[in-house]
Structure 1
Amino acid sequence: MAQTRNLRDSSTRIEQLLEELRATTDPATSAKVEDLVHLLVDVYGAGLRRIMETAFAEPNGAELLGRLAADELVASLLVLHDLHPHDTEARVLQALDKVSPYLGSHAGGVELLGIDDSGIVHLRLQGSCQGCPSSSVTVKLAIERAIEEAAPEITGIEVEGVTPPRTGTVISLDSLRRNGDAGTNGNGSAHAAAGAWITVDGLVGLAPGTLIATDVAGAAVVVCSSGGDLYAYGNRCPSCGFVWQEGSLDGKMLVCAGCGERYDVRQAGRSVRGQSLHLDPLPLLAEDGTVRIAVPGA
């Protein structure tokens, strides 16, 4: 996973360097540098194509190609050089499968309606995700990111059932410290990792009924364990501003000690009094022995 992210970071850095060269170097030199980059990409692409053709010619070639395509680092290179054995729709479906555990944990889902001729992916949110006040955060941090990583050739994503986000949904840790401490996990600053998936330590094997206050990239987050699943929310009661510390749930309910409001952690943090009042859910993925949480810019 880290290697794949590093590859994407390298690609972004190449684009940044080319932009800087265009701005500071004479046009002739800039054109030569860009030509050099394109030639290198072509050479490596041709070599990768030869490797794929040789592998496919083997008796177990189809199986081998499938294993290569399942590796995230290799898959990103295959997509870059238009060599991936799976078409765009298949890769989009695989991306949706990756985020389905998170959506399902909130009694929600997403349906692929199709990909139009202009390359726009059309989706529809289902279950509790549809019309949820935090659905735009779910789409941006979980669904869009997964699809764009699997199929960077798409030109856009349009989603039915998305509600515009509320402002200030995730509270920075510094603002909470003025009113009371939240737990600290030491996972970096919000400015450095805004919108990124952050690995959070100490959550694997969290006992059912437990809640933990922690810091994820500078954002105050409360993580709850209920029914064998983990749920992450912005650590502030939307009714009174209360900040949770470590403690326990009341069944599947996160109860505010400040005002007594009760929030269903298994239903996207909705208040038992009605859908208009709710916690701010954050995308959480538990896989391969790690837990990752995504937070928008705090």
Structure 2
Amino acid sequence: LELAVRGAVEAAAPEITSIEVETAAGDDNAAGPLVPVDSLFARLHADAAAVGADGASWEVVPELPGLESGAVARVEVGRMPVVACRVGTDLFAFEDRCARCERPFDGATLARRLGGGAGDAVLRCATCRAHYDVRRAGVCLDEDGGHLAPLPLLADGATVCVSVPAAVAP
């Protein structure tokens, strides 16, 4: 339970630098400060984009909640071009730039790796035909050292927010 709560807090509030857990000796029902679950999702439901300590902003992306499994979408988030794809229920976002040819992912496709399992997901650049493993943070499967630039995202089922660096945020 402690790990699940830590994970939820870290995902909802990445600016938190440490979490301390206190337990009452011998009393499992001890009263203490409570953090309402809704407050963990405040960033997702805010009217304005939230800005983190590093200047990155969380932007709502209305096109992404409806993205179907196996689909690839290119969207503008703030002023940054982003490529997103869904594998089952998992959603991934990267800067829209191929690490090999440095072109946008126009016409990119998502497929299973040859001989791979059902959860495998390989993003293929239509320009240079490079292959990237989306589950492994966009590592290039065709050459060592190449990888996409993944972007953090938060989803609550109805809303998806993507964090974009300050240099390209409005």
Please classify the TM superposition score into its range, dividing by the shorter chain length: 0.5 to 0.7
What is the rounded CA distance, in whole Å, between the counterparts of 1:149 and 1:291 in structure 2?
Answer: 25
* Structure 2 residue matching 1:198: 3-state secondary structure: strand
Alpha-carbon deviation of 1:285? 1.2
Instruction: Give the TM-score normalised by the residue count of structure 1.
Output: 0.37
Letter in 1 for 2:152: P
How many angstroms apart in 1 are the aligned matches of 2:158 and 2:107? 22
Alpha-carbon contact 1:195-1:295 (below 8 Å) kept:
yes
Q: Give 1:109-188 correspondences, 5 Å limit.
A: 144-145=14-15, 147=16
The superposition leaves residues 82-134 of structure 1 with CA deviations (integer Å, 9 ceiling, x where unpaired) of xxxxxxxx8x984532446xxxxxxxxxxxxxxxxxxxxxxxxxxxxxxxxxx
For residue 266 of structure 1, report the CA deviation from its aligned partner.
Answer: 1.1
Amino acid at match of 1:258: T
**Superposed, which structure 2 residues align to 1:48-59 within 5 Å?**
none
Residue 227 (structure 1) shift: 2.5
2:73 is the counterpart of 1:212 = yes
In structure 2, do the counterparts of structure 1 residues 272 and 99 end up closer, same or farther at CA, with 3 Å as the change threshold?
farther
Count, aligned residues: 126
Q: Which amino acid is the alignment partner of residue 270 of structure 1?
A: V
SS in 1 for 2:8: helix
* Residues in 1 aligned to 2:111 and 2:4: alpha-carbon distance in whole angstroms: 37
Paired position in structure 1 for 2:134: 265
221, 224, 235: which is aligned to 2:85? 224
Counterpart in 2 of 1:250? 111
Q: Which has the larger radius of gyration?
A: 1
How far the C-alpha of 1:273 sits from its partner, in A, is: 3.0
- Seen in structure 2, the aligned counterparts of structure 1 residues 257 and 288 have a Cα distance that, compared at 3 Å, is closer
Q: Which runs of 4+ in 1 moved over 6 A?
A: none
CA gap 1:208/1:294 in 2 versus in 1, 3 angstroms: same
What is the Cα deviation at residue 286 of structure 1? Answer: 1.0
Q: Distance in 2 between matches of 1:294 and 1:272?
A: 26
Structure 2: tracts of 5 or more residues without a match: 21-47, 50-54, 113-120
Shift of 1:248: 3.6
Kindly indicate whether structure 1 or structure 2 has the higher relative contact order, using CA contacts under 8 Å at least 6 residues apart: 2
Which residue is equivalent to 1:200?
A: 61
CA distance in 2, matches of 1:246, 1:210: 11
**Contact 1:210–1:247 (CA under 8 A) maintained in structure 2:** no
**What percentage of residue pairs aligned between the two structures are identical?**
33
Gaps (5+ residues) in structure 1?
Answer: 1-89, 101-141, 152-186, 189-193
- Which stretch shows the higher mean deviation, 235-244 or 245-254? 245-254
- The amino acid of 1:97's aligned partner reads A
TM-score normalized by the length of structure 2: 0.63
SS at 1:221's partner residue? strand
